[in-house]
Amino acid sequence: MTSFWDILHLLTATPLVPVAILGLTWGILGGALPGISASITMALVLPFTYTMDPAMAIALLACVYIGAEYGGSIPAILIRTPGTNSSAATVIDGYELNRQGRAGEALGISLMSGVVGSLFGLAMLALLTEPLSWLALAFKPTSYFALGILGLSVIASMGGDSLLKGLASAVVGLMIATVGTDPISGVTRFTFDVADLLSGVEPVVVMVGLFALTELMSQSGSTSVTQLGGSIRIRLPGWAMMRKLRRSQAIGCFLGLFEGLTPGGGGSVAAFMSYNEARRWSKTPEQFGKGSEEGIAAPEAANNTVASTALIPLLSFGIPSSNSTAVLLGGLLMHGLLPGPRLFEQNPQVIDSLYVGSLIAIIAQIGVGVLILPACIWLVNRPRPYRAGFILALILSGLFTLNNSPFDLGLALALGLMGYLMRLARFPVLPMILGVVLGHMVESSYRRSLVLSGGDFHIFVEDPIAVGLLGAALFFIVFSLAREYRDARRTQLQETHS
């Protein structure tokens, strides 16, 4: 149990406060740039955390996530372009308020609703994560194998428009994870005498390649011009407005908690669901779409809640439910930290730093959010060609810090091309990233189970946890297949009738 003195020590004897504020600032700036999602903002900073103290590195990444969720609402409100996917629902009423000359008010509502959602999400994270993680103590190697398969199945089935493509992406990710030294026998696999491949492919390189470089390539040559007015100032809502918004914020918080806990859920689903529910429960539903304050409060509370609650399944079981949490898992693994109860036992300082750092970032968000707006506007207004040059330079400079090896840069560029081709063919990239991240756990648990059973596959059906998890994985796959079949039939019928 963390004592007051532990927290005081964190605040005074470690650089947690500047780290949290730096992460928050970076997150807001990254989230404000259209096309740079929360996960890309996190992936860009990931290589820099390599040499940091693990506790500070994880706190930094969590604070970037919190900042990016708010940052995404800035262009959503000001130029009708969501900075991140999860701020897409904010566009509807946020931009409408901007058109009515109330942009400062809309930004203030977004900021404060985000703070409410983040505080609620953090409280849930602190309350639920450790008790849930103790369930993992009952896990055997068979259970861990089944858990990995469940994580991959859920993401593969929820990630895109085709289950087959999601599964193919996950399998390729697992294949990439087999490169390097075999976890059981120690022989090398698929290294082709390249020394840089002996320790395998770093998940960070895969994430930066598939998220950041792919996005940069996809935007290449884009002529879209974004211009923000420079004279906007945030107006924070007063008590009366906060009272008016409490119902929609509560809806956002509740649905954010639910979606954060759900594998495959995420900020954007939570934001749209809470927008709809807030309209349904509102006393003035007719105002939605015409500049309703509640229409901003609900989605912003929801996506900021998800930024914390999505960490619950990640820290308890090591299963990331979204791109951003996959990057955070990459950060944990990069520092040799395995999620689960042992993380709480052996590295309590990491958990404490994560919680306290997040709290600092949430509180600081009110001040930083107000102060940083002119910088966001300046950054968004930079010509896109120069932004692209600076971002590519940042990506390649950051990746070099991992191993001081040009090989990592070449690998990331190759993965960027792969991600681009996958996007063209409509293959989701998240299952591949998860395959790379979870590959080691899946293979070592699978083989350890069979070593224990002497090669008897019945061991997987003798463990009730493994049976439950594999059953759930099968359910997600069958459910996804049924959904695809139903959608295909519906499309076919519509085309026949038209």
Partner 1 sequence: MKRDFLSGGVLIALAAAYYIATGTIAESTLSDEIGATGLPRLLAMLLAFIGLALIARTAFVALAARRANVPQVAADEEEGAPLPRAVGLLLIGGAYVVLLPFIGYFLSVALLIGAVAFYEGAARSWVLPTAALGGATLYWAIFVKLLGVHQPAGSLFLGWLS
Three-state secondary structure string covering 284-331:
CHHHCCCCCCHHHHHHHHHHHHHHHHCHHHHHHHCCCCCHHHHHHHHH
22 interacts with partner 1 by CB under 8 A:
no
The three-point CA angle 278-279-284 to 5° equals 115
CB of 3 to partner 1, least distance (A): 34
Using an 8 Å Cβ cutoff, are 323 and 39 in contact? yes
**Residue 230 or 389 with smaller CB distance to partner 1:** 389
Q: Which residue has the tokens 């090669």?
A: 455
| Residue 382 CB contacts under 8 Å (≥ 6 apart), including other chains | none
Separation CA 377–CA 394 (nearest Å): 20
**Residue 12 or 498 with smaller CB distance to partner 1:** 498
221 interacts with partner 1 by CB under 8 A:
yes
Question: What per-residue string of b and e applies to 237-272 under the rule 16 or more CB within 10 Å gives b?
Answer: beeebbebbebbbbbbbbbbbbbbbbbbbbbbbbbb
64 interacts with partner 1 by CB under 8 A:
no
| Residue 59 CB contacts under 8 Å (≥ 6 apart), including other chains | 16, 19, 20, 23, 353, 354, 356, 357, 358
Q: Which of 13, 283, 383, 458: binder of partner 1 (CB under 8 A)?
A: 383
- Give the phi and the psi of residue 429 in degrees, each rounded to 5: -90, -20
**Nearest CA among 256, 335, 327, 314 for reference residue 133:** 314
Separation CA 78–CA 64 (nearest Å): 22
477 interacts with partner 1 by CB under 8 A:
no
**Residue 1 or 425 with smaller CB distance to partner 1:** 425
Separation CA 359–CA 338 (nearest Å): 23
CB of 454 to partner 1, least distance (A): 7
8 interacts with partner 1 by CB under 8 A:
no
Q: Which of 219, 226, 276, 381: binder of partner 1 (CB under 8 A)?
A: 219
- What is the x/- site pattern for partner 1, positions 109-148, by CB under 8 A? ----------------------------------------
**Structural tokens at position 100:** 């009515």
**Residue 100 or 405 with smaller CB distance to partner 1:** 405
**Residue 137 or 184 with smaller CB distance to partner 1:** 184
**Nearest CA among 450, 174, 478, 443 for reference residue 470:** 478
CB of 424 to partner 1, least distance (A): 7
Q: Which of 4, 5, 455, 458: binder of partner 1 (CB under 8 A)?
A: 455
Using an 8 Å Cβ cutoff, are 90 and 300 in contact? yes
Scanning 1-9, 85-93, 147-155, 382-390 for contacts with partner 1 by CB under 8 A, the matching segment is: 382-390
- Within 432-451, which residues bind partner 1 (CB under 8 A)? 443, 446-447, 450-451
Q: Which of 138, 375, 393, 474: binder of partner 1 (CB under 8 A)?
A: 393
Question: What per-residue string of b and e applies to 458-478 under the rule 16 or more CB within 10 Å gives b?
Answer: ebbeebebbeebbebbeebbe
Separation CA 415–CA 495 (nearest Å): 38
Radius of gyration of the chain (CA): 22
178 interacts with partner 1 by CB under 8 A:
yes
- Within 258-287, which residues bind partner 1 (CB under 8 A)? none
492 interacts with partner 1 by CB under 8 A:
yes
Scanning 63-71, 157-165, 324-332, 351-359 for contacts with partner 1 by CB under 8 A, the matching segment is: 157-165
**Residue 417 or 474 with smaller CB distance to partner 1:** 417
80 interacts with partner 1 by CB under 8 A:
no
Helices (H), 190-322: 203-207, 214-218, 239-261, 267-281, 294-309, 311-317
410 interacts with partner 1 by CB under 8 A:
yes
Q: Which of 417, 461, 474, 482: binder of partner 1 (CB under 8 A)?
A: 417
101 interacts with partner 1 by CB under 8 A:
no
> Which chain residues interact with partner 1 by CB under 8 A?
48, 51, 162, 164-165, 167-168, 171-172, 174-175, 178, 182, 184-190, 192, 213, 216-223, 383-386, 388-390, 392-394, 396-397, 400-401, 404, 406, 409-410, 413, 416-417, 420, 423-427, 443, 446-447, 450-451, 454-455, 488, 492, 495-496
